[in-house]
Amino acid sequence: MVVMTPQAGQAEIDAVVKRLEAVGVHAKVMPGELTTAIGAIGDPEGVRALALEGMAGVDQVIPISRPYKLASSELSHHEPTVVKVDGRRVGAQETFCLIAGPCTVESREQTMEVARAVQRAGASMLRGGAFKPRTSPFSFQGLGEPALEVLREAREETGLPVVSELTDPAHADAMAEAVDVIQVGARNMQNYGLLEVVGKLGKPVLLKRGLSSTVDELLMAADYVLKEGNENVILCERGIRTFETATRFTLDLGAVPYLKLHTHLPVIVDPSHASGDRRLVEPLSRAAAAVGADGIIVEVATDPDSALCDGPQQLYASDFGAFAKAVGDHASLVGRRLA
Ligand code: PEP
Ligand code: MN
C-alpha cells in the first residue's frame, strides 16, 4: 500500500502508477478525504525493490502481505506439517512431544543415567549438547565429537531419537550421522549460512527463536531451511529478552497460538532456558500444553547441582516421572497424549 502525502498532486500519483505498471504490478488508486492510497498488487519483493519511498509525493509504503513465504500457513500448505522422527510425530494434533535430557553431555555415565530415567518416564526424545554455544569463550564449550559417540550409545540403548545442536558447518556431517534432529540454537537463528547448511542436510531441524528476534523473523529464518527443500522444521519458543529480569528470559507464550495460526510448522516450548529456574519449569510446561504447543524440550540431570552448565534450571531426574505425568495430564486436557 503506497500512501501519498496530502499535498501530492495528480502528476505525482500518475508517476507512481506508471512506475508500478512498468514492472507488471497492478496499481489500484484509492482517493481518500485527506490522502490518496495506491494498492500495489503483485510480487512484494519486486515492489520493495522499486524504493517508492524516494518518489515525490510518497509518504509511506506499507507492506500488507507477510514477509515469510514457505513457512506461512497461507501459502503452499493447508495441512499442518507433521515432522516424523523415528515413529514420533511432532505437530500431529493428537500428540504432545516431550524432549528431555541434560543441557550438555558431560560424561558417558551422566548422559546414560539421564537417558534411562527420561525413557522410563515416557519421554519422546533425548536432548544433549555436544557443541555448546557459550556466551563466554572461557566457559565449558562441550565435549565435541566424543559427545556424539555418547549420544549414539544412548540412542542405541534407550531407543530414544537424539536432538543436539549444530554450531558450526564444519561439524555438519558428523552431526548428521550421529543425531536424529539437528538443533539450531537461539544464538544462531539468524546465522543464514548455517541455516542453509542445515537445510541441505535433509534431517529434521529444531529451530529456536533468537533471544531478541520477533516471531516473523523466526519464520523468515525457517524459510531459509525450507527453501533448501527440507520441510521438517520444528519451531521453538525459548524466551526472549525484555525489561523483565526476574526470569532468565521472558517466555512468550502468546507466540505459540500466534505461530499455530500463521505457520503450518510444529511449535514447541523450552521452559528451561526461558525461566532459568527448575521451580518454574513444570508450571510453564503445563501452560505450554494448555496454549496449544506441540511439545516441550526440557533439561534434566541426575545431579544438576554439579552440572557444568545450566544446573539451576535442570529438573532432577528423580522428579522427572512425576513431572512427565503432570504434563501428560495437561496435554490430555487439550486432546493430546505423550508422543
Ligand atoms: C540449548 O537448548 O542447549 C540452548 C543452548 O538453548 P538456546 O539456544 O535456546 O539458548
Ligand atoms: Mn542449557
What are the pLDDT tens digits along the chain (339 aa)?
999 999 999 999 999 999 999 999 989 999 999 999 999 988 877 888 899 999 999 999 998 888 898 999 986 556 899 999 999 999 999 999 999 999 999 999 999 999 999 999 999 999 999 999 999 999 999 999 999 999 999 999 999 999 999 999 999 999 999 999 999 999 999 999 999 999 999 999 999 999 999 999 999 999 999 999 999 999 999 999 999 999 999 999 999 999 999 999 999 999 999 999 999 999 999 999 999 999 999 999 999 999 999 999 999 999 999 999 999 999 999 999 998
DSSP state of 191: -
> Which numbered ligand comes closest to the C-alpha of 102?
2
CA 227 to chain centre: 16
Asked if residue 184 lies in contact with residue 208, where contact means CB atoms within 8 angstroms, the answer is yes
Asked if residue 130 lies in contact with residue 151, where contact means CB atoms within 8 angstroms, the answer is yes
Number of helices (H) and strands (E) in the chain: give both, helices first: 11, 16
DSSP state of 215: H
Q: What is the distance in A from the centroid of ligand 1 to the CA of 186?
A: 6
Distances (CA, A) of 27 to 15, 41, 52, 229: 11, 6, 13, 34
Asked if residue 42 lies in contact with residue 26, where contact means CB atoms within 8 angstroms, the answer is yes
- Please report the sign of the dihedral spanned by the C-alpha atoms of residue 273, residue 274, residue 280, residue 286: negative
Asked if residue 272 lies in contact with residue 265, where contact means CB atoms within 8 angstroms, the answer is no
- Show the cell assigned to 338: 505423550
Atom of ligand 1 nearest to the CA of 236: 9
DSSP state of 258: H
Q: What is the distance in A from the centroid of ligand 1 to the CA of 91?
A: 21
Asked if residue 268 lies in contact with residue 235, where contact means CB atoms within 8 angstroms, the answer is yes
Identify the residues whose C-beta falls under 6 Å from ligand 1.
103, 129, 133, 165, 185-187, 208, 238, 270, 273
* Longest CA pairwise span in the chain (Å): 77
